[in-house]
Structures are given as structure tokens and as C-alpha cells.
Structure 1
Amino acid sequence: MSTTAVIPAVPLERPAHRDGNVLRWLAAYTASMVGDSVYYLALSWAAARVGSPAQAGLVLAVGSVPRALLMLGGGVFADRFGPRRVVIGSDAARSVIILGMAACLLFTGPALGLLIATALVFGVVDALFLPAVGALPPRITTEGQLGRVQGLRGLAARIANVTGAPIGGLAVALGGSVAAFTAAGALFAVSLALLLTVRMSPLAGGARSESTAWRRLADGLRYIRSHRVLAPLMVVLAVGELGFVGPMNIGLTLLAQQRGWGAAGMGWIVAAFGTGAGAASLLLAVRGRIPRAGLVQSCALLGGAASAVGLAFAPSVVLAAAAGALIGALAGLSGAICGALLQTVTAPAYLGRVTSVATLFSLGIAPLSYPVTGAAIGAWGTGPVFVASAAVCATGALTGLASRVLRRVELPH
């Protein structure tokens, strides 16, 4: 009697956008991002009430100092103690700090010193939270779903940008700064509650080092510098952000003023940019994988730089909005692929430190180009500055295209 071998079926990998565990993490991340938007609006509103415009600007800027200075240390903490502990602890701290601020305002009213202290402490906690939350995706899903997770993360960021300001504005209208800070603290508490329900798996190769924090940090930087993919990818990220952030923030505002498009025109351009970026994130979330990811990432960044030049010389709001949508789509695709590649090629033991370096470039160093961009536009006008910034951005893209290893790197199936 003949027998037939039965081959066990291989379970299909659940797509990230249908995985309840990933969706709980996504909801937590979205609540946290919206909370950030509400917090900054509440802080700016309170600062504007008690101080001069210069003092209000100081309050908003002071929180970025500890975040930039301590970001790399936050990556060391995430790798040393595990990102789950760090992200839950820092999210809890953010909720307590902001709800405590709301309670203080309820009984004492806003004071410049109190606002500065809150911004400083929040910046310190953010320096721990951001690297840890960025290192979580490989622990909540499989390697083949990291592209989808980055797409979903991009969509969450767009949702936060669209909803955060209206929620904060409504809270201020109903109850002033107290209500706005309460709303932000409540959103952080919701994020914390959702994070506690997310299952996180340990990663192989994530053994803890008993060396000092400085040695672990130096070891992480050496790891990036010697890595065949991470080294050029970090250069692409850093140079691209440096050339892109200034024109698309302060530069866009000044461009709309000079062309007479007004706030409404700028709003259309920003909305088009967000739509394009959201579409790119949705594409990656649904497809999960882009062939020739390394090549596409650099080419998309190069196309975004060229579109920024088109925006600077657009003769009408309609064409400027079209350019904005193209910039959002290309830059959004480049950024999402970059995030997926960083998490795919990084050894588990270094995820926190690698994430902290990438976050430092995008949220810590790149915003320093704001005053430089503003001063340059005042001296030479928007056109030349947008062209120069696009050239900087293109230099990052060309660096990626010049790297044979980065051009050929792929996202996992």
C-alpha cells in the first residue's frame, strides 16, 4: 500500500494592517502624536498670554534643547533596558507632567518660569520616548511587515497633523490653557493604556552590554559608521532633511507672503503636501514592499528636490499646490522606505541607538536650518534659497545613488 507524504501548510503571514496587535500599537502611536500637537498648541497659547512674542518663542524653543542634547542617550537607554520599558515609562511621565501642568494652571494661572520648566522637562522625557517608540515595530510584527508598519506610521503622523490643531483649538476655546493641557495629558494616558495591551516579542541578538553608557553610545556610532548600508543611508537622511526642512516650513510661509497668496493659499499648499505624503504612506501600508527599495528611496528624494524648485517658481496657487502634492508623495515615500530599511538592516541590539541618531537628524538638527533659511530668503529671495536647498537635498540623494550597496538593498518579503 502506497503512502502519500503530507506536507504541513505554512501559515500565511498576517498583513500588518490586519493585525490587531499592530493596530493597537498604531492607535497608541496616533494618540501620542495627536497629544503632542495639542500640547504644543497649549504651550504656545499659554506663553503668548503671559509674555512678549520673543518670550513665547523662547518657551517653544527651550524644549528642543534637551531633546537634541539627550536624544542619543535615549537610544542607549532603549537598547540597555528595552524599548518597551522606556516607552511605557516615558509615556506615563508625559501624561503626569502635562496633567500636573493643567492642575497648576487651574490654581495659580500661567507663569513664564513654570512654562519654561515644563517645556524643559517634557523635552528631556521626549528624548527618551522618541528613540524607544521608533525601536518598537520589529518587536510587534514580522520582518516582512516592517514596510507596511512604516506606511501606517506615516498615515498616523498625517492624521495627527490634521486633527491635533483643531482639537487643541477647541479645547482652548472651551476652557483655555487648562482644558488644552488636560486634553493633551488625557491623550498621553490613552496612548499609555493602549501600549500596555500590545504584545512585544524579544529579538534575537539583543543581549545587554554591561559597559558604561558612553561606551555603548560610542559602540553604536561605530556600528553605524562601519555598516555598509546604514552609513550611506544616514548620510542620505541627514543631508536630505537639512535641505528639505527649512524651505518647506519657514520658506513656504515667506513664499506665500511674497506672492500674495495669503494664509488661504499656503493652506492649500500644505493640504496638498499632506495629501501626497498620506498617499505615499498608504501605498507602502497596502503593498508592504517596494522593489529595489534603496534605489527608489534615493530617486524619490531626488524627485522631491526637483519638485521643490518647481514650487518656488510656480506662477499660481494651483500649480504650487500641485508641486506641493508631488513633494509630499515623493518625500513621504522616501522617508517611509528609509525608516523601513533602517529597522530591517539594523541588528536588534543597536535598534535604539540607530533610531536615536536618525531622529536626532530629523527632529533635532534639521530644524536649526529655520533661522538660516529665513535670513537667506531675506537677503536673496525665495527662488535662490529654494534652489540652493534643493541642491543640498539632491546631494543627499546622489550620495545614495553613488553607493552600490544602498542602491541594491531590498526590503524583506
Structure 2
Amino acid sequence: MSATVVTPNPGYRGVLRVPGMPAIFLAHTVSMLGTVAAQVALSILVFERTGSPLLSALVLVCSFLPYALGGILLSSIADRFPARRVLVGCDLLSGLWIGVMLIPGLPVAALLGLLLATGIIAPVFAGARAASLAQLLPGDLFPIGRSLLRAISQVTVLTGFALGAVAVAAIGPTRLLALDVVSFVASAVLIGVGTPYTPAGERRRNTVRDSWDGLRYLFTTKRLRRLILLTWVAPAFSSVPDGLAVAYTAQAGTVAAAAGALFTGYATGTVLGEFVAARFPPSTRRRLVVPLLLMTQLPAIAFFFTPSIPVAAVLLAVSGAGYAFNQGVDPLILQAVDPSYRGRLFTVQTSGLMAIQGVSIALAGVVGTFLAPNLTIAAAGILGTATTLLIARQALERTTRGAVTSRPG
């Protein structure tokens, strides 16, 4: 269990001074860069072999779709075994699957199947990592640690896609996939050598039954269920502009490449929001939850007026900055969950977040075929504002209700 003293070093610097944390975050950076670059490489490789834009696009679908399956069936792995062992095992297994992709002449169906397999592993890794942060970090630094993971993810997604395209042109997709294997092995070594041991949880039944037991616990605990839904619903609505970015640039009368400014704006805002919020004391972050939630949704309503691309990018940056609301919600989740269910909780939270954003983007594309893109985005902003405020009112009232008696961490 982590210490309960208040750290004298707030912010990301305080997190990185905790033993084992530099290795965890460096491993996250390395594996994220490799994974994103590999998605680019695999998309190009599939297109080169088949000439099919649809099959090439399925690479991204196969990257996100398995999250739900892994979260439902395998979430208990994050609680049943020591976190370090789970993290190293997930990295090595993911590296193995990517390595098999390097076999010459492997059918496209096999490539996509292997990608699905790595996607099933991903939420288990994320859940075990979050559970280990809850054990290794003092309670007041846990939300800062998760914030740093999110900031690193946004930065590496931006740089990974940009560098991936350049790397494919320079060395080819096959060699870039080989580098992804190296990134997973490097991540496993960093975690295995550089992080402290954390004990395993209780094994009651088999993995699948324990996972179902965790789902039942999470969704029958009212306060916990509402908090988790809050972390899903806000990004589900705020991700609609991502699905319609290209269509919106066409509506605004600019080239499709300008959609990159919208993606960059959202990611930049997210990183800045996380960085600024991490400097606030816990009480301030808690009070800012609702204002930050509103920031995630309200900018989309301004799309009703069809803003120019630069203005739209700024609006999405404001929306991305609001995602720092998680820094105020994470401590409440940690208080509300029994420690023996932490790994399952964070695995399900990660898998649900990825799945609901994928569904949201797909639905936005469907609605956008019947309604102008700007009106679809604005409607999502209106519905998102109403829905998040409703869930926030239920989840945040009387914050001590439903909390377990042990201190978080």
C-alpha cells in the first residue's frame, strides 16, 4: 500500500521523484511511440498488399475494437497477479504478436487477427499499470500520475503519427514494425528492472469468472458506476469533432489536410490542461470538475456558426483542456472502490473509454451523412453538456457517500 503522507513536491516533478516512476513513464513513452508508428506502418503495409482503403482503415478499427473484449473477459488479471509481472508479460506478448507479423507473405487476415490480439492485451496492461500507480504513489499524487500518462499519450500520438509516416518513407513498413517489437521489449525491461514489486490480489475463481464478478461489483455500486460513466460520457461527446474533422474542413471550404489542425488543437489543449491542473492543490482540482466538464462540451456548440479552421482549432483546444477534469474525479474513484477491485476497475474504465469513443465517432459519421457536419458537432455539444451535467450532479453529490473506510492508496 502507498503512503498516506502529503507530498511536498506537487505536480509532475513530485510524481517522477517517487521510486520506480521514471521507469514506468519512460516505458509508456517508448511503447506508445512504437505502437502508434506501427499502426501507420501496418495501415500502409495492408494498403500496399491489397490496394483497399477499407482494409487499410480496418487497422485502426482492429486497434480499438478488442478493448471491450479484453476489459470484459480478462480484467481480473490485473488483480490476480503482481502488477510488475502482468506489465512485463503483456509487453512481451504484444511484442511477440507484432513479431509474428514480420513473417514474409503472412495473409492480411492474419495481420489483422494479430492486431486484434494485441488490442485485447492493451486494456489489461493499462489496468495493471493504473493499479500499480495506486499502490506506489501517495494518494494525493495518484491523479497526477494518471494525468502524466494521459499527457504522454497525447504527445506521442501526435509525434508518432507524424514520425511514423516519415519512417515508413525512410525505412519501409516492415522495418518499422520490427522497431515496434523492440519498443515492447524495451518497455518490458524498463518495467522489470526499474519498478518496485507490488503484491498480487486474491484469486477467488478462474480469470473470466473473477472478471465478471468485477463487472458486477463496479456496475452495482451506484456511486462508482456514476463516476465511471462520467469519465466515459464526456469524451464520448467531445470526440465527435474527430470523426467529422475532414468533413468539416470540406464544409468550411478548405483542403482536407487542414483537418490536422483540428486534431492538433485538441491534443495540444489536452496536454496544456493536464499540465496546468496538475499544479493545483487537490481541493482546487475537485472544485474545478464541473467547470472543466463544461469546457469539454460547450466549445462544440459554437460550431453552429461554422467557425474558420483556426478558430475551430482553438475551440477544440479549449475542449481538450477540459479533459483535466479527470484529475478531480480520479481520487473520488479511488475512494469509492474496494482495493481488491482496483485492477479490474481501471481495466474496465480504459476498455470502456476506448469502445465508447469508437462508437461515438462512428455514430457521428452516420449522423453527418444526413446533417451538416457543423450542426452535428453543435448538437453533440448540446447533448453532451446536458448529459454530463446530469451525471455529474448525481456522481459528485455528497462525495463521501459510498466511499470505503480505508484511505485511498
- Alignment TM class, shorter chain as reference: 0.7 to 0.9
Quote the residue 1:401 is aligned against.
392
- Counterpart residue type for residue 349 of structure 2: A
Q: Tell me the matched-pair count.
A: 395
Quote the residue 2:272 is aligned against.
279
Shift of residue 389, structure 1, vs aligned partner: 1.6
Of stretches 336-345 and 374-383 in structure 1, the one that deviates more from structure 2 is 336-345
Shift of residue 177, structure 1, vs aligned partner: 1.3
Residue 238 of structure 1 is aligned with which of 228, 232, 235?
232
| Structure 2 residue 307 is the aligned partner of structure 1 residue 315 | yes
Of stretches 181-190 and 51-60 in structure 1, the one that deviates more from structure 2 is 51-60
Quote the residue 2:258 is aligned against.
265
SS in 2 for 1:144: coil
Quote the residue 1:223 is aligned against.
217
- Counterpart residue type for residue 363 of structure 1: M
Aligned equivalents of 2:6 and 2:347: distance in 1? 35
Shift of residue 186, structure 1, vs aligned partner: 1.5
Residue 358 of structure 1 is aligned with which of 346, 349, 352?
349
Quote the residue 1:7 is aligned against.
none
Shift of residue 372, structure 1, vs aligned partner: 1.9
SS in 1 for 2:370: helix
| Structure 2 residue 361 is the aligned partner of structure 1 residue 370 | yes
Closer, same or farther: CA 404–55 of 1 in aligned 2, 3 Å: closer
Shift of residue 178, structure 1, vs aligned partner: 1.3
Residue 249 of structure 1 is aligned with which of 227, 242, 263?
242
Aligned equivalents of 2:398 and 2:256: distance in 1? 40
Quote the residue 1:94 is aligned against.
94
Q: Percent of pairs identical after alignment? A: 23
Deviations 1:129-169 (A, max 9, x none): 23222322112321121122122112211221222123322
Of stretches 118-127 and 45-54 in structure 1, the one that deviates more from structure 2 is 118-127
Shift of residue 25, structure 1, vs aligned partner: 0.9
Aligned equivalents of 2:265 and 2:63: distance in 1? 30
Residue 188 of structure 1 is aligned with which of 178, 184, 187?
184
Of stretches 42-51 and 343-352 in structure 1, the one that deviates more from structure 2 is 343-352
- Runs (4+) off by over 6 Å: 409-413
Quote the residue 2:55 is aligned against.
55
Shift of residue 97, structure 1, vs aligned partner: 2.2
SS in 2 for 1:286: coil
Quote the residue 2:169 is aligned against.
173
Q: Is the 8 A contact 1:139 1:201 kept in 2?
A: no
- Counterpart residue type for residue 318 of structure 1: P
Shift of residue 48, structure 1, vs aligned partner: 0.8
Deviations 1:277-316 (A, max 9, x none): 11111123334635261x5323312232111112453432
Aligned equivalents of 1:322 and 1:11: distance in 2? 36
Quote the residue 1:126 is aligned against.
122
Quote the residue 1:46 is aligned against.
45
Quote the residue 1:36 is aligned against.
35
Aligned equivalents of 1:163 and 1:404: distance in 2? 36
Closer, same or farther: CA 207–56 of 1 in aligned 2, 3 Å: closer
| Structure 2 residue 28 is the aligned partner of structure 1 residue 66 | no
Quote the residue 1:5 is aligned against.
none
Aligned equivalents of 1:71 and 1:304: distance in 2? 26
| Structure 2 residue 289 is the aligned partner of structure 1 residue 302 | no
**TM-score, reference length from structure 1:** 0.86
| Structure 2 residue 342 is the aligned partner of structure 1 residue 346 | no
Shift of residue 376, structure 1, vs aligned partner: 0.9
Of stretches 126-135 and 303-312 in structure 1, the one that deviates more from structure 2 is 126-135
Bigger radius of gyration: 1
- Counterpart residue type for residue 142 of structure 1: P
Shift of residue 382, structure 1, vs aligned partner: 1.6
Residue 107 of structure 2 is aligned with which of 108, 111, 122?
111
Q: Is the 8 A contact 1:135 1:352 kept in 2?
A: yes
Of stretches 13-22 and 149-158 in structure 1, the one that deviates more from structure 2 is 13-22
Quote the residue 1:382 is aligned against.
373
Quote the residue 1:4 is aligned against.
none
Shift of residue 356, structure 1, vs aligned partner: 2.0
**TM-score, reference length from structure 2:** 0.87
Quote the residue 1:154 is aligned against.
150
Q: Is the 8 A contact 1:42 1:181 kept in 2?
A: yes
